[in-house]
Structure 1
Amino acid sequence: MHRRRVFASSFSRLLLLVLFETHLAFSLNQEGLYLLKFKAGLDDPLKVLSDWNPRDLSPCNWTGVTCSAAGYVSAIEIVGRELQGPFHPLLCRIPNLSYISLARNFINSSLPDAALSPCPALVHLDLSENLLVGPLPSALASLPLLRHLDLTGNNFSGPIPPTFGRFSHLENLSLVANLLTGTIPGFLGQVTSLQQLNLSYNPFTPGPIPAEIGDLAALRTLWLAGCNLVGNIPPSLGRLRSLLNLDISRNELDGPIPESLAGLSSVVQIELYNNSLTGQIPEGLASIVSLRRIDASMNRLEGPIPAGFFDLPLLDSFNLYENRLVGGLPEIISRAGKLSELRLFSNQLNGTLPAEFGKNSPLSVVDLSDNQFTGEIPPSICEQGFLEELMLIGNFFSGSLPEGLGNCLSLQRVRLKNNLLSGELPSRMWGLPHVYLLDVADNGFSGVISSAIAGAINLSNLILSNNQFSGNIPVEIGTITSLYEFSADNNQLTGSFPTTLNNLVELQKIDLHNNSLSGELPGGIQAWRRLSELNLADNKFAGRIPPELGSLPVLNYLDLSNNRFTGQIPPELQNLKLNKFNLSNNLLFGDLPPFFADEAFRASFLGNPGLCGDLPGLCPSSQESSTKNQGYLWLLRSIFILAGLVLVVGVAWFYWRCMKFKKAKNEADKSKWTLTSFHKVGFREHEILHSLDEDNLIGTGGSGKVYKAVLSNGEIVAVKKLWCSPGKKGDNQEGNLQNPAAGDAFEAEISTLGKIRHKNIVKLWCCCTYKDSRLLVYEYMPNGSLGDLLHGPKSGFLDWPTRYKIAMDAAEGLSYLHHDCAPPIVHRDVKSNNILLDAEFGARVADFGVAKAVEPLGKGVKSMSIIAGSCGYIAPEYAYTLRVNEKSDTYSFGVVLLELVTGKPPVDPEYGEKDLVSWVCSILETKGVDHVLDPKLDVCYKNEIFRVLNIALLCTSNLPMNRPSMRRVVKMLVEVGAEHSRPNLDKDGKPAAPLYYEDSSAHSSVL
């Protein structure tokens, strides 16, 4: 009986399943069933596939699905829609599917051979910019009709499989920016159907360009940039008659440019820059009539430029910057009929430019910087009216500027710095409407700054330093609302400081030191909310220092030395976070504000006889006065002292009565506070509330003020008082948290830190609440923040072993948040100011006001409604897409590592429009690694610092998938420490070269 019941139950379930499948078969064809199973394996956060309905008869109307005229599925195209999951093998069972594009999603896992079999009709496969890993599938070569294969921007690893030499119809092969190893194989030369071969930015094993590539007669694009190529350029490349674009830049190729490249009869662009090529530029290249652009910069080429280049009838661009060419430019340059761009900067070129240069050429860019050219700038250089950029930095040009430049309305960038030019600038040149950069520093220019500058409506950088300009600064300069930098130091300017400069809200730098400017500084300068540098030293300014300077939020460089300022130092200046501060040699008097009464600031106040403080050398030594004829002074003093005593006693009594009443009221209020502890504490809330005095203020952040509290048991804690409602920020009242951001910060802080127990996460002792007021009580960090020690007055205090220890501690704290918390926690505001240091310089990660819990690593990306974080630390994908995961913190931590290595802040006027990451990468590419290291660090740690720099570059990769996890970062840092603990010697017992990590991101390959 029991067996019959079991059989009946099983039979019923089987029957229901058969009926269900039969129902689906009648409602949806087989192709639709395959697609539904593909959908079932994906996460679809944007609900892109919500219309994939099993009740439809056919999938032809579904999003991303295209059908043929006969009603068969022929194409699937779902690009950039955040799909997450594997590539399903059932897709290849759709018999007529010829086109698959799932680019820019989060397709993950590996791509096994089984997933691509049979796909009999597949012609186009694009899985670029996903998260695929593992080896390249060998089975791809067996797809009989495949013509387009794009796997760019994944994490494929290992060598290119030998089967890739057996593609029968492949026209486009793109494997850019993966993790491929081995050398570029010669068997790719057997795929004679190839028209595009793109293998750039892979960490291939160093090897040559295979000579077999020259057999690809149909090839139109060859892109092998950043592939670790070494050796000579093979002459066989000259056989590529159909080639339009040759790019073998960013490698270690050496030897000469082969003459055979003259055989590239169809080539439009040749990119050879950033190699080690030597010899002269082949004459034959000038005979390629189709050539529009050649870039052979950053090599070691020499000799003259072939004259034939300037005879090419269709030449639009010629670029050979940063080489070591010698000799002058041929005179035939003046007859270049179609020359548009001439870039030859950073070479050893010399001679003069022909007087007719530009007369018959539609020049748009002329960049001859950092050479040895002499003579005058040709008067016809903008004859055709197309010139946009004139870049002649670091030459020996002399004479005055041609008047024709004043009529060159197309000009946008003018950089003539460091030449021997003289005379006045053409008057109309001051007001060119499209110029946004005018740099004529380090010359002998004279004359006045013309009032015509009002017409330069797009000017953002005006750099006139180290010339002989005279006269007043015109008031019309205040109409240039986009002005970012105004540098006119070391000139002969006179007159007052124009009040119209207060209108320039975009100003970030004003440098007018060493002129003869006078008068008082005007009020209203609080409009300079972006000003970071103000240098007015060595002038004749007088009057009081405007207290509004203390309200400028990002001012970090203030030099008013060697003027005639009087009065007391405004206490508001204590609000500034200054890297450079100098008020010396003025006529200031009075006591120093408490914050500046520190030995670190002594040099900032020397030469002010009236200033007093506890710092040696400030107050003048007391002199004994003769007692003759001074007797009556004692009587007057006695009278004033007696009157003063009466007044003081009266005020003290009144104050005592008021304080007694206020204390009684406060005690009543304080008894209403609620203390919630997260650890065992030995204090009560009234001890915390007594510490909320401005004398105990130790810091101000984005979410509140921080006070130092010394408790009755001798323990010291830090108390964060969250900001009050909007408009009450900084009030002395307790306030209420009408500001939702403050409430969110409080909830995030206590929900995160209240549950965390880790030695490298700042400890939250308790919180105190009363109505809407919030206080957070932390362990006290006596050495402050890493940012203050790196970029504040005590910069240079940290040696490398201490910096390495801080990096290790902070990495372990973040690793704990990402990998040991369930769910993982993303900090979202990792920066040096949020890394606090205890008495032994142990690091703690702090400030969790914007922290978020996310899905476990690899299971998704959470989108935020607003950007959290600090300028210079925000990962690229977070800033543009608001998508955040653990890799966003990894990027920010990489910026902190760069700060430790370079000693520089994340953003600084020195970088121009770049941040620290971009600045480091550009310096590494142009000047080398030694130019980014903090010069205050001991060179004996150079190898270890290099390795940490490379880890930082891995962490700040533009692609999140190329950044290591924080657990991996900790492991790499441990390996750095282990490497430092043992001698780094080669097999001969000599110091070995530094070992570097490798990464496929573009900017990490510079080491």
Structure 2
Amino acid sequence: MLSLLFLLFLLPRSSLSLNQEGLSLLQAKSSLFVPDNVLSDWNPSDSTPCNWTGVTCSSTSLAVTSLDLSTFSLSGPFPSALCRLPRLTFLSLSENDLNSTLTSSSLQGCSSLYHLDLSSNLLAGPLPSSLPSLLPNLLYLDLSENHFSGSVPPSFGQFARLRSLSLVGNKLTGAFPHFFDNISSLRELNLSYNPFSPSPIPVSFANLTQVRILWLTGCNLVGRIPAEFGRLSSLLDLDLASNSLTGSIPESLAELSSIVQIELYNNSLSGSFPSGFSNLTQLRNLDACLNHLSGHLPEDLFLAPNLESLELNENNFVGPIPATISQCKKLADLRLFSNQLVGALPADFGENIPLSFVDLSDNNLSGEIPANICASGLLGELLLLNNSFFGSLPESLGRCRTLTRVRLGNNLLSGEVPSAFWALPHLSLLELSGNSFSGGISPAIYSATNLSMLLLSDNHFNGALPEEIGALVNMYEFSASNNRLSGPLPMGLQNMAKLGKLDLHHNFLSGEIPTIIQSLKKVSQLNLADNEFTGSIPPEIGYLPVLNYLDLSGNKLTGEVPMELQNLKLIQFNLSNNQLSGRLPPLFATQGYQNSFLGNPGLCTDLTGICPRTRGNDSQRRVFVWLLRSVFALAALVLVTGAGWFYWRYRNPKKAEAETEKSVWKLTSFHKLGFSEHDILDCLDEDEVIGTGSSGKVYRVLLANGETVAVKKLWGNSVKNYLEHTFGDGFEAEVSTLGKIRHKNIVKLWCCCTHKDCKLLVYEYMPNGSLGDRLHSSKGGLLDWPIRYKIVLDAAEGLSYLHHDCDPPIVHRDVKSNNILLDAEFGAKVADFGLAKAIGNGPKSMSVIAGSCGYIAPEYAYTLRVTEKSDIYSFGVVILELVTGRYPVDVEFGEKDLVKWVCSTMEQKGVDNVIDSRLSSPCFKEEICKVLDIALLCTASLPINRPSMRAVVKMLLEVAPENMLKPSIKHSKPCS
């Protein structure tokens, strides 16, 4: 009351005409931070607030009945002054930045509310248990996408009239709440994406006979789907996806006569699919992919008259696709990939079905592709790869102008491709590789101007490449290896400015390699091996800015190797088995490039295997052998002398012991210290070991001055191996270099203590441990998206400092989530420089592979060349860990790693299936997708295509430029 009087005192005299409800609204506004030009028309000189933004009044009493201030970027605690509006029935403050806790006192007086929406804010703390008694008339309550924590209060089962409740995307824990069955009025219950403890689905939910939407995705549910759910006669949408449910799908679900959508994907369900689904006359979407369902596809499933989307992919279904599928008059989306289906498709498949998306890949299907598969004229994507389809492509596919993606790779298809099929105007991906197609590429392909990937390898295509192929200006990849193509390269290639990969190896192409190839400024892979090209290698190839894969082997090329090729940063380079001659450019005249020039007897170098050995070479070899023997003799003399001295020096054990005791610890500090080496040694306690590795242990040490540090102790032979492998004989110099690093996102190395074969590295202590431990433990759900985003940005800035601001630049070589440590505020710092290397003026070659499984860049395994691009790949894997919540290597991926799993899953099922279910993805989806795109750039297979760390930092800052800790959620949208 005093605050209201104070507000009255501050208002101008003209505002005294404003009624009491207007004053309450102004007080609520004054308790919030309100951006400029928002609520600017809340004028205190008005007599009533009925014309103010967001305010609705009764037409008779002029009392405020509704207030909608959603998406206004308001911040601060919940404005309790709003509860002084006695007739307020509708209140929405969604998609703002309200913070603090939601208390009972702040809602005192809001008893008239029917509708309360506080979704997508920053409210935290426990849910107020008194809410049902404070809001007895409530029909609609939405508290989703906040930071509420703790258990759901049992009192929430006492709402008398509630119809819709949403607690989606919070941090609610404890047992899954079972008491909502007491609210018989419920029509919609949304509890998804909360880290509840493992709990079964309450059987009592079957009593919610009026519920229409039951959304329990990502709630850590275990056990079986209750058969009693067949009693939910009003149910329209059942979503139990992304849990750990087991057992079979209950037959009783076929009794849900009103059901429109069923989502059961990403569980551990098993058994056969239940029969009786023909009774589901309203069913439009059924998604039960990523389970362990088996048996035959039930024929009556395809008799549900309104079925529009069916996703049963990645199960264990066997047998043929039932002929009854042709009776699904509304089926548009069919995904049955990754099963064990066999047999031919029904002959009338597609005739009476409005198919738009068909994916039957990775089965054992056979027979011909049905002629009328695109009879509806709506088919956009046809994915049949990795089956046994045979016969030719139906002519009717050439008239299916809606097609955008066609993947028919790895089948038994043959014959010529219809000319009209090459000309489809909207086609962006055409994959025919791994078949037996013959004939030529039609000149009509010039009409396929949207084509970006043309994959024709491993077929029997013949004839010349048509000049018209140059019209495909959007082409990124053209692969037609292992065919029978002949003739010269068409001059039209110069128009394909976006081409990144050109692979035509193992054909019969001839003529000279044209100089117009210099127009392909974005090509990174060029493979023309095993053809019949003649003439010289165009020097212009050396000016292709991003080319790093060049294979011209197995041709009839002549002349010298152009000096200009030295400009290229090549990972794969092969000019062997040609007719080249002359001297090699200096950069290539080394043993490292020997295999790149084999089978060119005209090349004149000193590389073994390239040129015949001369007598002069024999003489030089004899001199070398004599010198080598002399060195061995001198080394033996030194060894014998040293052994004798050692025996004389230490023949008295007591004297040796006395000499050992004289040795002392040496401390090398890199910062001003408040402790000595003795303080460290006195506090090393085995009970305080916080980590153990191959080279030693890490201790948490509480010093006498109250400071806590982390001490890494390297011991025994591990020390010798660790130091030699890591630093060679320059340990002190390297540690000194690392000790001079000064950056907020690099773990601080306080000092180094050395004593004989023992080394102590003293670091600042990071109380929240490593990102890997935190992310993959039971506490991973506490890392919400704003925190994960901050961690990614912090780590990127630390690595950017190493790559761009250190002289010489430092490559970490072991970037992984376990080497990113978190301070008390979850700030991230890069740690563990055990494998770091200063790269100086260029890449370093290593004798062995270093790094951690799942994080190692693909090129490192076969080149052993260290560059900053290796770190960038590893960092991209860390980002994928943060986005997906998965390990870099997992048995679930099979032979894939995390990078390949993300790419294939996104392609087949979309981005929603890779995002960590613990993230509040609906709220932050746009930001998550942007960061995911950055991760995929960082993990590009070719190093040249990866951005620099400085560019990565810039891109991350652009994800949420206004507020790093809370990326904008006002206009979230899916990834493209």
TM bucket by the smaller chain? 0.5 to 0.7
- Residue number in structure 2 paired with 1:40: 30
Aligned to 1:456: 448
Q: After superposition, where does 1:10-409 map in structure 2 within 5 Å?
A: 20=10, 23=13, 26-45=16-35, 47-69=37-59, 70-142=61-133, 143-409=135-401
Out of 802, 816, 835, the residue aligned to residue 835 of structure 1 is 802
CA distance change for structure 1 residues 527 and 198 in 2, over 3 Å: closer, same or farther?
farther
Unmatched runs of 5 consecutive residues or more in structure 1: 1-13, 626-678, 680-714, 717-753, 764-804, 812-823, 847-855, 860-895, 936-948, 964-1007
CA drift of 1:599 comes to 5.2
State whether residues 67 and 91 of structure 2, in contact with CA within 8 Å, keep that contact through their aligned partners in structure 1.
yes
Instruction: Map 1:881-892; keep pairs closer than 5 Å.
Output: none
Q: Secondary structure, in 3 states, of the residue corresponding to 1:493?
A: strand
Residue deviations 1:803-843 (CA, integer Å, cap 9, x gap): xx9x99999xxxxxxxxxxxx99779648665338999785
Secondary structure in structure 2 of the residue aligned to 1:406: helix
Partner of 1:125: helix, strand, or coil?
strand
Residue 959 of structure 2 corresponds to: none
Given residue 154 of structure 1, which amino acid in structure 2 is its aligned partner? N
Contact 1:436 / 1:461 at 8 angstroms: preserved in 2?
Answer: yes
What is the CA-CA distance between 1:591 and the residue it aligns to? 5.4
Work out whether residues 454 and 477 of structure 1, in 8 Å CA contact, stay in contact via their aligned partners in 2: yes
Partner SS for 2:246: strand
Check whether the contact 1:46–1:81 (CA below 8 A) recurs between aligned residues: no
Quick one: structure 1 residues 110 and 578, their matched pair in 2 at CA, closer, same or farther if it must change by over 3 Å? Answer: farther
Match of 1:928 among 861, 881, 893: 893
The one-letter code matched in structure 1 to 2:395 is E
Q: Percent identity?
A: 50
In structure 2, relative to structure 1, the CA distance for the partners of 1:202 and 1:164 (3 Å cut) is same
Task: Report the CA distance between 1:553 and its aligned residue.
Answer: 4.3
CA distance in 1, matches of 2:342, 2:794: 55
Q: Sort the Cα spacing of 1:366 and 1:567 in 2 relative to 1 into closer, same or farther, 3 A.
A: same
| 2:745–2:794 Cα contact (<8 Å) kept | no
Q: 2:477 aligns with which of 476, 485, 492?
A: 485
Q: Secondary structure at the match of 1:510?
A: strand
Query: How many angstroms apart in 2 are the aligned matches of 1:831 and 1:507?
Result: 34
Q: How does 1:427-826 map to 2 (within 5 A)?
A: 427-589=419-581, 600-609=592-601, 617-618=609-610, 620-622=612-614, 760=746
Paired residue secondary structure (2:450) = coil
The superposition leaves residues 933-971 of structure 1 with CA deviations (integer Å, 9 ceiling, x where unpaired) of: 699xxxxxxxxxxxxx999998999949999xxxxxxxx
Q: Residues 845 and 34 from structure 1, CA distance in 2 versus in 1: closer, same or farther, beyond 3 angstroms? A: farther
> CA 1:584–1:959 in structure 2 vs 1: closer, same or farther (change >3 Å)?
farther
**Is 1:900 matched with 2:855?**
yes
Counterpart secondary structure, 1:931:
coil
CA distance in structure 2 between the aligned counterparts of 1:566 and 1:956, rounded to whole angstroms:
59
2:183 alignment partner AA: V
Cα distance per residue 1:21-80 (max 9 Å; x no partner): 684861544333433343334334454234444444443343333333233333332333
Post-superposition Cα deviations, 1:105-156, rounded to whole Å, max 9, x if no partner, equal 3222222222222212222222222222212222332312222222222222
Q: 1: distance between equivalents of 2:433 and 2:792?
A: 50
Give 1:974-985 correspondences, 5 Å limit.
none
Separation in structure 1 between the aligned mates of residue 371 and residue 483 of structure 2, nearest angstrom? 27
8 Å CA contact 1:494, 1:516 repeated in 2: yes
TM-score (normalizing by structure 1): 0.63
3-state SS, counterpart of residue 405 of structure 1: helix
- C-alpha distance in structure 2 between counterparts of 1:920 and 1:469, whole Å: 44
Distance 1:426 1:926 in 2: 43
Q: Which SS does the other structure have where 2:229 is aligned?
A: helix
**Is 1:901–1:933's contact at 8 Å kept on the other side of the alignment?**
no
- Verify the 8 A CA contact 2:247 2:268 in the aligned structure 1: yes
Match of residue 703 from structure 1: none
Q: Which moved more, 1:61-70 or 1:318-327?
A: 61-70
Structure 2 unaligned blocks of 5 or more? 618-670, 672-732, 735-739, 750-765, 773-790, 816-823, 828-850, 860-868, 901-913, 929-976
* Cα deviations by residue, 1:878-908 (Å, 9 ceiling, x for unpaired): xxxxxxxxxxxxxxxxxx9998367687999
Check conservation: 2:885, 2:916, Cα contact below 8 A: no
Matches of 1:60 and 1:555, distance apart in 2: 67
C-alpha contact (below 8 Å) 1:462/1:486 kept by paired residues:
yes
Code of the aligned partner of 1:43: F
Give the secondary-structure state (helix, strand or coil) at the position aligned to 1:255.
coil
Deviation at 1:240, TM superposition (A): 1.3
- The 3-state SS of whatever aligns with 1:314 is coil
Post-superposition shift, 1:210? 1.1
- Supply the distance in 2 between the matched residues of 1:308 and 1:595 (Cα, whole angstroms): 69
Q: 1:274, CA displacement in angstroms?
A: 1.3
User: Tell me, what secondary structure is at the counterpart of 1:558?
Assistant: strand
Q: Distance in 2 between matches of 1:249 and 1:412?
A: 29
> Do 2:193 and 2:920's aligned partners in 1 also have CA atoms closer than 8 Å?
no
Is 1:454–1:476's contact at 8 Å kept on the other side of the alignment? yes
SS at match of 1:303: strand
Contact in 1 for aligned 2:470/2:494 (Cα 8 Å): yes
Q: 1:377 to 1:897 in 2, by over 3 A?
A: same
TM-score, length basis structure 2: 0.65
Q: Distance in 1 between matches of 2:921 and 2:98?
A: 23
Output the CA distance in 1 between the equivalents of 2:325 and 2:589: 64
The answer to whether the Cα contact below 8 Å between 1:229 and 1:251 also exists between their aligned partners in 2 is yes
**Which amino acid is the alignment partner of residue 928 of structure 1?**
F
CA deviation after TM superposition for structure 1 residue 162, in Å: 0.9
CA–CA separation in structure 2 for the residues paired with 1:136 and 1:22: 40
Change (3 A) 1:827 1:199: closer
Distance in 2 of aligned mates of 1:247 and 1:17: 50
Aligned equivalents of 2:94, 2:5: Cα separation in 1: 41
Indicate conservation of the 8 Å contact 1:538/1:563, yes or no.
yes
Cα RMSD (Å): 4.8
Residue aligning to 2:641: none
- 1:326 alignment partner, SS class: strand
User: Using a 3 Å threshold, how does the CA distance of structure 1 residues 267 and 532 change in structure 2: closer, same or farther?
Assistant: farther
Matched-pair contact (CA < 8 Å) for 1:520–1:541? yes
Deviates more, 1:363-372 or 1:445-454: 363-372
Residues 18 and 286 from structure 1, CA distance in 2 versus in 1: closer, same or farther, beyond 3 angstroms?
Answer: closer
Is the contact between residue 923 and residue 929 of structure 1 (CA under 8 Å) also seen in structure 2? no
Deviation at 1:570, TM superposition (A): 4.6
Q: Report the counterpart of residue 996 of structure 1 in structure 2.
A: none
